[in-house]
Amino acid sequence: MALWKYSVVVVSFISLSLFLLDNEKEHLEYSISLEEKEKVLQQLDQEQISSESKNYMETFKKMQINSPMLQHANYKVLAGAPPQEKKLLTVGISSVQRPHGSTLLRTLQSLFEASSEPELNCIVVLVHLSDPDPQWLSQTVTNISGLFQPRIEAQKLLVIHGHLGGSPVPGDLGSANDSSPCEAVYSRQKVNYALLMNFALSLSEYFLMIEDHVYCTPNFVSTIYWALSAWKERPWVILEFSSLSFSGKVFHSSDLSRLTTFLLLFPKDTPTHLLLSEFRLLLAQHVPIRFGSSIFYPMSSYSAEETCFPVEKEMVFGEPDNPIASVLTDMTTISDVIPQYAYVLNDECYSTFDPLRGNYLTVILERPQKVIRIQVLTGSNKEGLYWLHQGQIELGYNTLEHSEGCARYTLLGPLVRGNLDQRVFYGEDTVEELSCIRLLVLASQDSWLLIRQIRVWTQPEEES
């Protein structure tokens, strides 16, 4: 096993004895059957904390305190000024000098072109130019100011340079002290991201990390906003809006102090992107929360970074392949509109009216399946009509007898504006096959409800 892997284990156990977890909640997990309807309502009335999550209550006690290295960090504002009021989201970009030229300007152009003015009012774009070369810094700031001066003057774009304790940022690619190119990249990147996040602590409620060579899809800010709104009352550490190693990851700004400390605990041969997964696990989010459609895509790759940070290729899902299943519900069924319509891949849909808190619609798979993505669509195609205002999708395991659903359910995610599109991941110690998919109504509503379609993608057996 590589040295960094031992380091992750050792430092993680040390961290567990030092730090206090603020967010003591874990993903909702519970067991019900059709005869236990009353228990469903009780479970909706209280946050459920698993015994494993409780064991973390004495962890991370000192992670509220910044790393000693960051307490002596020095920053210089190169362009712009911090916004006068706290924003919803900081879009953080750390950029370095590259031998084949920078794509930072193209990334910024894509970001601003993809965002409306109301969206831009919710964010601040923070660029950390981390290379210490004064000539490169001067030229890059000149280029940014020439293209984005209105954004700078409106306090929507802020450019900084930071270093630790009066010393240049360590781990430059050309450093003779690094035993490998990847070690140089890891060392420099951990410090660069720590400096970026440390500066962003009080700028906004949430922090979005993107790299300096990505395209942004139109209205990505709104996509993130609605997801954050849906997840606001639920425990999470990282929400992922891309399959890239870094871009598209959203954090609570209140977690940034802990994260920066965590990054700087490890030796420089530790892969940075793997530390993000370790951080998520330490804060009791056991599987990634990744949305089905990416909103950030790479412009190009650089040989050193591609080797050091293998980018997960964007999975091509094709059409859903809903496996054979039965569907049951306790909602009011109208004449010949059967619940199965919600699952059949055609233009039919399941309609009901006045759904009540605790109502459900459950897909019971004929046999357990390795499901990798789930999409649930409610409402008509016209915006805001007949969609489920508050609901969530749960994953079920261990089918009960007599087609009564499953014995145990875990939360996949809440509906975002009436819909859900998420990847499905499995914990290391869990069965990697689902038996049920359940849509649960979280709040009663006096209106019609259309469950337009439940789409399921499974992993081909030869890939399992």
Detail the DSSP E strand segments found in 267-418.
289-290, 296-298, 325-329, 350-353, 360-369, 371-378, 391-399, 406-414
Vertex 433: Cα angle to 427 and 434 (nearest 5): 105
Both structure tokens of 446: 């006096």
pTM, rounded to two decimals: 0.84
Q: Give residue 26's pLDDT.
A: 36
Distance from C-alpha of 424 to C-alpha of 455, rounded to nearest angstrom:
13
DSSP state of 372: E
Q: Which amino acid is at 73?
A: A
- As a whole number of angstroms, the distance between CA 30 and CA 398 comes to 12
Give the helix/strand (H/E) hosting 435.
Answer: strand 434-441
Of 322, 299, 128, 147, nearest in space to 209 by CA: 128
Q: Hey, which residues does 423 pair with through a beta bridge? A: 373
Q: Which amino acid is at 214?
A: V
Please answer whether residues 229 and 88 qualify as being in contact, where contact means their C-beta atoms are separated by less than 8 angstroms: no
- 176 burial level (CB within 10 Å; 0-12, 13-18, 19+): exposed
- Give the CA radius of gyration of the chain: 24
Could you read off the pLDDT tens digit of each residue along the chain, which spans 464 residues?
454 454 554 445 445 444 434 443 333 333 344 444 554 544 454 333 333 333 333 445 444 455 667 777 889 999 999 999 999 999 999 998 887 778 899 999 999 999 999 999 999 999 999 988 999 999 999 999 999 999 999 999 999 999 887 544 444 434 445 566 777 778 888 999 999 999 999 999 999 999 999 999 999 999 999 999 999 999 999 999 998 888 999 999 999 999 998 888 876 677 888 889 899 998 989 999 999 999 999 886 544 455 676 655 677 788 999 999 999 999 998 888 999 999 999 989 999 999 999 999 999 999 999 999 999 999 987 666 899 999 999 999 999 987 789 999 999 999 999 999 999 998 776 777 999 999 999 999 999 999 999 999 998 766 54
Note the pLDDT of residue 233: 92
SS3 (DSSP) at 272 = helix
